Amino acid sequence: MRALLLLLFVTFSFEFVPFAVSSRMLPSSSSSSDNAVVVDFKGGQLKLGEPYYVLSAASPQPAEGLCLDDIKSNETSTDCPHNVVQCTMFYKSFLGMPVIFSSPDNTTTSTTNTTSNSTTDEGLVKENTSYKIQFSGVTGSCAKETVWGLTFEHDTTCEFVTTDPAAPPVEFQLKKQGSGYAIVYCEIIPLPRIPVCFSVGFHQFGTYYSRLVVGLDIEAVEFFFVKKTTNVTALPHASS
């Protein structure tokens, strides 16, 4: 993300930042409204360690999810696909590949078999809180190459979301947007020390691919989450 921070530092103006925030550190926010629990498309609370499909309201009806593909760009030599893209009709399921959220310290485990009826919000995904995101259900040797990171490729205004192990993994936050949520990447600019969040959206790459990117001029996408075990009878559609 150094390229974006350098560009922001040189041309600093909040009008160029999709999400300008206060001078407090976002992950340390204690306000109940700032740290509301994220809910899925059915209204259920998102849980750490459980798989959810990530669907975009920016896609054609019905909404499409996220997939991994190999576009043969600047990535390490491996048989595993690393480019995070919007799924197309060529994929087995337009729901795409599910993701799981985990705390940066990796101490969170799946709550699938939890039977406790605790009223606390421990183990739940919250807004304005940093989480690692990774794809779920990947098998074989590629199972170790599923965590979201960022890589710079031929563009000074955005960076691409990737699972390439050569790219350092980063944390993302969720912010309420419309009926769904925006995914953002937050950083601290050096002078003055102000936390800002960059939008996560799509960038057309070639003829067939819309890649997930982070950048100054990237329009935030409204995402919806669908639990993997949900019997989906209706999906979010593109905004009119």
Has residue 36 been placed in a domain? no
Has residue 80 been placed in a domain? yes
Q: Is the pLDDT of residue 134 over 90?
A: yes
Has residue 117 been placed in a domain? no
Has residue 212 been placed in a domain? yes
Range with the poorest average pLDDT among 129-133, 173-177, 183-187, 234-238: 234-238
Q: Which domain holds residue 90?
A: 2-28+49-106+124-227
Tell me the C-alpha distance between 3 and 92, whole Å.
36
Has residue 221 been placed in a domain? yes
Is 198:17 a contact under the CB 8 Å cutoff?
A: yes
pLDDT at 142: 92
Has residue 163 been placed in a domain? yes
Structural domain count, the chain: 1
Q: What is the CATH number of the domain that holds 155?
A: 2.80.10.50
pLDDT at 31: 44
Has residue 119 been placed in a domain? no
Q: Is the pLDDT of residue 16 over 80?
A: no
Has residue 219 been placed in a domain? yes
pLDDT tens digits for 137-165?
898 999 999 999 999 876 567 899 999 99
Range with the poorest average pLDDT among 15-19, 62-66, 75-79: 15-19
pLDDT at 82: 93
Burial track 76-94 (b if 16+ CB lie within 10 A, e otherwise) = eeeebbbbbbbbbeebeeb
